Structure formats: C-alpha cells, structure tokens
Structure 1
C-alpha cells in the first residue's frame, strides 16, 4: 500500500498526489469526478490517467479557506483511504523531518491524521524539488 505524503485535508501550500481507490473503471470514474469538482471550485487538479489510482493536485496560490471550502464541497467524491501501516507512518514522519531539515514547515503525521501539513518553502527554493529529494532520501 502506498500512502502519500500530503493529505488534502491539511494541505496549506504546495502540490502533491491524491491517493486513489484502485485502477478499475468505477473507481477511476469517481476520481475523475473528484478532480472535476475540485477544478470547478478553483483548485488545479488533473484527471487521473486511465488505469492509474491517483491524480495530481496543485494548491499553490489557493487561499486556505478556499481550499477547505472546495474539499468540503467535493467530499462526496473524495477517495476513502485505509489507515496507514506502522511502516508507512514511520516513513511519513521521516519525510516530514526531511522537509523541516530543508526549511519547509511540516507537521508530523499521526495514525488518526496521516497527512503532512506543508508550509511554504524557503525563498528561492522549489517545494517540488524538496519533496522529490525527501522522498528519494526516505525511500518512497
């Protein structure tokens, strides 16, 4: 099971992937509806590629209150996640520590709230590059 580092409900700034429900047609269609709904609310979310179980979300520049409103409006289409394993949770905590080491505010995930709240990167730094480096360091 792949648990993604950034959970939508707590995304403040940045972008990440939204976990899916699997690649079958019905579940894929649900993810497409979710992405479409988010776009209608002004949040940049790409449709998942055919056969994929996730999609990209870019919330940079979206005010926190607007993002939270979009998530609430589109909740009916949101994917349901299984709780993370202890191994996944440990990996997410290591990723949060790596983000902080690189100057990005990042909360530690818990079993109840497995996402990482991510703040803005330091001036002149790219959040995508920092996230990619941390995922490589942690082994995701």
Structure 2
C-alpha cells in the first residue's frame, strides 16, 4: 500500500472518529431512568473486596445493558478492562448517535454512564492543539467552526450551523480529514 493511500485511510478513520464524537455532542442528555444498584462487596474478590477494574467493568456492563434495554440494541459490552468510550462504541457500527433511540437511551442511562465515556477536559497543550484544529477546519472551508473550550467536545455540531445540512456535513468531514495532525495534538487519535 502506498504511503499516500495509507495516509488517506488514516485521515478517513480519524474523520469517522471525530464525526462520531460530533454526533454524540449533538445529543442533549437530560434526566435519568435506569436505577443504579451497587453490587455487594463481600466475597467479590480474594480479600472480600472488589478491584477498581472489576467495579469499573461492572458499571460499564450495567450501562451497556441499560442502553440496549432502552432501544440501542447493537450497543456492545465493554472490553475486558471495562473501558467504554463513545468512539469505541460507534466506530465501525451502524449505531445512529443522532436518532431518538440514542438520545432517549442516554437520558435514561445517564446515572450509569462510565467516567470518560464522552471524553475529558483537555490539558493546556491539548487545548492549544484544539484551537489549531479549529483554525485548520475554518481554513478548509467550514467558516462557522467555533473554538472549542477545554471541557467541551472538540467538534460540537450544535455550534456549527452549516453542519445542519448534508453538504455542510460533507464539508466538515473533508476538513476533519485534512486536519488530522491538529486533532492528534488535541488528544484525539485515529483508531
């Protein structure tokens, strides 16, 4: 495979990952409905307590089950480490993060959502990368792309009026593909 084709494929994977994050950012989460119950600690491990990894995985499993029960049937279970991120869930799947089933399930399962599912606050260096990413996106044709704040998603389509159309999303996708290095500097990497 030529280096150019490999680079194009990597940019495409990054663009898909960013679009998944953008789709999640467009979802308004309100309310909660799944009951959270803590499993008992006695007898759960060799010393009678639960390990942090086990507790993290158990919460992520309960969140995944809740999402499936509330209409996102293809929502996967977490990996063995218990890690569950929106990017990992939607990349390479047909899960629609902009539809009513996703929105409703997220709202219903909010109290079970694992830490880091939707991201984290960027460091100062990552924020500089995020601002460079925003400038790059604007240079590549999405004039209404805003500067992200450190605790906000890198791409928030609710703040990009042009992304409300198919042509606008295609332009955003193309710009994100061209700005992969800056996205990496902001802490987002291609799978």
TM over 0.5: yes
Question: How do 1:40-55 residues align onto structure 2 when only pairs under 5 Å count?
Answer: 40-43=69-72, 44-51=74-81, 53-55=83-85
Give the aligned partner of residue 60 of structure 1.
96
Q: How does 1:79-118 map to 2 (within 5 A)?
A: 79-81=114-116, 83-95=121-133, 101=140, 108-114=147-153, 116-118=155-157
Gaps (5+ residues) in structure 2? 1-16, 28-51, 158-162
Partner SS state of residue 66, structure 1: helix
Residue 76 of structure 1: how far off its partner (Å):
1.0
Deviation (angstroms), 1:53: 2.2
TM-score by length of 1: 0.56
Give the 3-state SS of the residue equivalent to 2:148 in structure 1.
Answer: coil
Measured against aligned partners, the alpha-carbon deviations of 1:102-121 in whole angstroms (never above 9, x if no partner) come to 77x86543234345224577
Asked if 1:36 corresponds to 2:75, the answer is: no
Conserved in 2, the CA contact under 8 Å of 1:8 and 1:115? no
Larger RCO, structures 1/2 (Cα 8 Å, 6+ apart): 2
Structure number with the higher helix fraction is 2
Number of paired residues?
Answer: 126
Counterpart Cα distance in 2 of 1:8 and 1:71:
13
Structure 1 gap segments, 5+ residues each: 13-22
What do the CA deviations read for 1:56-94 (whole angstroms, capped 9, x no partner)? 23343752x433222110011112345332223333444
Instruction: Tell me the TM-score normalised to structure 2 length.
Output: 0.45
Bigger strand share: 1
CA RMSD of aligned residues (A): 4.1
